[in-house]
Structure 1
Amino acid sequence: MDYNKISKEVLENVGGKDNIISAAHCVTRLRLVLKDTSKYDKVALENIEGAKGVFFNSGQLQVIFGTGLVDQVYAAFVEEADIKESSLEDVKTEGRKSTGKLQEMFKAFSDIFVALIPGIVGCAMILGFRAILITSGLFGLEATLADTYKWASDLSAFLNVIATGLKFLPVFIMYSATKRFGGNPVLGIIIGLVLVHPELGNRFDYLQGNLTDITYWNFFGINIPEVAFQGGVFPAILTSLFLAKFEKFLTKRVPQILSFILVPTLTIIVSAAALFLVFGPLGDVIATGLGYVIELLYMKSGVFGAFIFAAVLQPLVITGTHHAIGSIEAQLIASTGFNYIQPLWAVSITAQGAACVGMFLLAKKKSKRREIAISSFVPTLVGVSEPAIFAVNIKDSIIPFACAVVGAGFGGIYMKILAVKALGFGLTGIPGVTIVNPPVMIHYIIGNLITFGVTILLLLIYNKFKRVPGSHE
């Protein structure tokens, strides 16, 4: 494959060197920010060798090449275009300048949690291993391993301690969110520690009316309950935004000679006051509202709600509004220790991969469509659905995507009936097995297999009665 030829063709069909603001790449996509977005030729880009799809999102033109190939194309492209290499964050920043406020807000949620996922995944896997030690009935035992063997009991206690990161999730969110909003992340950590201060009362008990010995601070006639914000995902995000903005406000107005002392001191005091007076209670309201919606959809609506929940996740990916789901998952983990959205994410992505396989079966043998279909399917195994969606499932018609949406819904029903839950978030597909609650791990696998089979079956049945666009006649 001639990477130089590919890069030249890409450059020619995006308006040339003068139309490039910045370029970067992620795992599967070449990401470009253009001066004039009317100058790129989508059809021509899709027909370039190795290209699996083209779409425009978050202010970026994204050309899907796939894992490995995109690295080679990007290296040749920056040389051909004679531009400096940009980080993915640089391109995202440029792209945000041309996106709407609502889309930018949803994207901010993703940016906050992406940096935290490795730590969350690591802690979740540790807790998953611990769950094996404290689950009754495994390995032919009536009791748990921890109850039966001293070494298992000690190991269980040790693992519980080293996975403590999930108990301090608001601290990490404050750090990541403050950094994302342009503030000093160390100040974010300080306010994050205030959120979980051990001398303050328990927030969950307080909200449920179970905290009887509440004490209050009284400032100028305002009573503030001495209660922490354990699990306070939304209070952390809202306070981080305020902290970053207020710090910038002070930096511009405080004399430079006093800035080193006054800016951090006033930022901590005012941000902490804003936390307890405004953003903590407001965050509780948001969390309660979202919790009510999720409970209504998933808990009270039964299998119907689970079907809808799993079905709508990938349509949200297309709109870019799926980024907010991570904050809901974090809230679930912080408040309950479990995440039942992760299995629904898994089946929604598996379904998109299954639709790719279905289109592979329907495509002409030895055609480029087959090559694109199978190479777009592979990323779904590790939880990446965009190549499948944009390169195959909505390229010629909405039918493959729609079949995948329905297939995901059936997978969601199975996950609901069998109460499949995860101990973390950020991993789906095959790697997602590592963070699923061990007692229901087999049902996670079965649910994904059901989704895979139902999606392909729906696509083949539809094609039997009416040809799917893009399939071989």
Structure 2
Amino acid sequence: MDYQNIAKEVLLAVGGKENIQSAAHCVTRLRLVLKDNSKYDKETLENIEGSKGVFFNSGQLQVIFGTGVVDQVYAAFVKQAGIESSSVADVKSAAQKNQGKVQEFFKAFSDIFVALIPGIVGCAMILGLRSLFITEGIFGLTGSMADNYRWAADLASFFNIIATGLNFLPVFVAYSATKRFGGNPVLGIILGLILVHPDLGNRFEFMQGTLDSVKYWDFFGFNIPQVAFQGGIFPAILTSLFMAKFELFLTKKVPQILTFILVPTITIIVSALALFLVFGPLGDIVAAGIGACADFLYNKAGVFGAFAFAGLLQPLVITGTHHMIGSIEAQLISSTGFNYIQPLWAVSIIAQGGAAMGMFFLAKKKSKRREVALSSFVPTLVGVSEPAIFAVNLKDSIIPFILGAIGAGFGGVYMKLFDVKALGFGLTGIPGITIVNPPQVIHYVIGCLLSFVLPIVFILIYHKVKGIAGAELKNAAL
């Protein structure tokens, strides 16, 4: 494979080096931000040696080359284009300048939680291990392992302590959000600690009217309940946005000699007031509204809601509005300790992998379509659906994508029937097994398998009856 020639062809197909704003690569894809998106030739890019698909998402032109190959192509491309190497974060930042305000808004939610996912996943896995020791009847025991063995009880207690990160999730959200919005992340930590301060009353009990006694502050005629914001993901995000912008405003207005003292002091005081007076109550309303929608779909609407929820997740990916879901998952974990959306994510992603494999079986042997379909399916096993969606399922027809979404819906119904929940978020597919509530792991696996197989069956039947654009029968010419 001539990587220099591949890089040269890619450069020509995207309008030359003068059209490159920035370039980076991830595990499988060359990611480009172009100055003029109308100048790239998708068909030419798709037919370059080694290319497994091309799609445009979140302001980035992404060419799929696969693991290992993309590293070589990128090195040659940077040299040919005469540009400096950029990180994926740099490219995302450049791409945001080309996005609309709505898309950028939703993207911000993703950025806030991406940095937190390793910690959340780690804590969730530890809680999963703990549940093995406290689940009654496991391994045929009477009671739990903790009831029968001192070492198991001690480990369960230890795991509960070291997984404490999930109890203080608003602290981490405030830190990450303040950093994301351009503020001082240390001030974000202080804000987060205010959100969960132990001297404040429990907000869940306050909202339910079960808090024994409530004290109030009287500020400027406003009676403010001295209640914390445990699980306050949206109050944390909204107040962090205000804090970051207010800090930048103060920095410009305060004389430089006094900045070190006055800016953090005034920022903390004003932001804390804004939290209790405005953004805390507003965040509660936002969380309640979104939670009510999710609750209606999953709990009130039963299997029909679960079908719709799982089926609609991947269409959200296409529009870029799926970034909001992470905040809902975080809210669920903070308030209930469980996340019922993660299994729905899992089936929605693996179903698109199943649709890609359906197109694989329709493609001629040794054809590029079959190669692209297989390589696009593999990432869905670890929770990445974009290659399958853009390189296969939407390439020539929307039908594979829709049939994948329908398959996901049935997978969502299965997950609902067996009440499959996770202890964290950020992992789906095979890695997602590690954060699923242990007693429900087998149903998680069955639900994912069902979501994988059904789109294949649907595609084969649909193609036999009506035909699917872009499908190549095994005995047909490519």
| Alignment-mate amino acid for residue 186 of structure 2 | V
Q: With the length of structure 1 as denominator, give the TM-score of the two structures.
A: 0.99
Partner of 1:229, secondary structure, is coil
Match of 1:320 in 2: 320
2:429 is equivalent to residue 429 of structure 1 = yes
Shift of 1:318: 0.7
Shift of 1:58: 2.1
Match of 1:78 in 2: 78
* d(CA) in 2 for partners of 1:246, 1:102: 22
Shift of 1:87: 1.5
Shift of 1:141: 0.6
Match of 2:291 in 1: 291
* d(CA) in 1 for partners of 2:126, 2:369: 42
Question: How many pairs does the alignment contain?
Answer: 473
| Alignment-mate amino acid for residue 334 of structure 2 | A
Query: 1:24-423 counterparts in 2 under 5 A?
Result: 24-423=24-423
Segments of 5+ residues of structure 1 without an aligned counterpart are none
| Alignment-mate amino acid for residue 48 of structure 2 | I
1:374-401: per-residue Cα shift (whole Å, max 9, x none)? 1111111101000111111110111111
Partner of 2:24, secondary structure, is strand
* d(CA) in 2 for partners of 1:228, 1:66: 48
Comparing 121-130 and 73-82, the one that deviates more: 73-82
Superposed CA RMSD in Å reads: 0.9
| Alignment-mate amino acid for residue 418 of structure 2 | L
* d(CA) in 1 for partners of 2:163, 2:284: 25
Segments of 5+ residues of structure 2 without an aligned counterpart are 474-478
Match of 2:450 in 1: 450
* d(CA) in 1 for partners of 2:178, 2:208: 30
Partner of 2:152, secondary structure, is helix
Q: Tell me, yes or no, if the aligned pair for 1:28 and 1:387 is still in contact at 8 Å.
A: no
2:8 is equivalent to residue 8 of structure 1 = yes
Q: Tell me, yes or no, if the aligned pair for 1:25 and 1:74 is still in contact at 8 Å.
A: yes
Shift of 1:66: 2.5
Shift of 1:37: 1.4
* d(CA) in 1 for partners of 2:41, 2:415: 42
Shift of 1:422: 0.2
Q: Tell me, yes or no, if the aligned pair for 1:66 and 1:376 is still in contact at 8 Å.
A: no
Comparing 27-36 and 195-204, the one that deviates more: 27-36
Shift of 1:334: 0.4
Match of 1:22 in 2: 22
* d(CA) in 2 for partners of 1:218, 1:71: 61
Partner of 1:445, secondary structure, is helix
Q: With the length of structure 2 as denominator, give the TM-score of the two structures.
A: 0.98
1:249-299: per-residue Cα shift (whole Å, max 9, x none)? 001111110001111111111111111110000000000111111111110
Q: Tell me, yes or no, if the aligned pair for 1:24 and 1:74 is still in contact at 8 Å.
A: yes
Shift of 1:26: 2.2
Q: Tell me, yes or no, if the aligned pair for 1:343 and 1:421 is still in contact at 8 Å.
A: yes
Shift of 1:142: 1.8
| Alignment-mate amino acid for residue 368 of structure 2 | K
Partner of 2:416, secondary structure, is helix
Shift of 1:472: 2.0
* d(CA) in 1 for partners of 2:48, 2:436: 40
| Alignment-mate amino acid for residue 356 of structure 2 | C
Shift of 1:28: 2.4
* d(CA) in 2 for partners of 1:66, 1:115: 25
Match of 2:476 in 1: none
* d(CA) in 2 for partners of 1:258, 1:225: 33
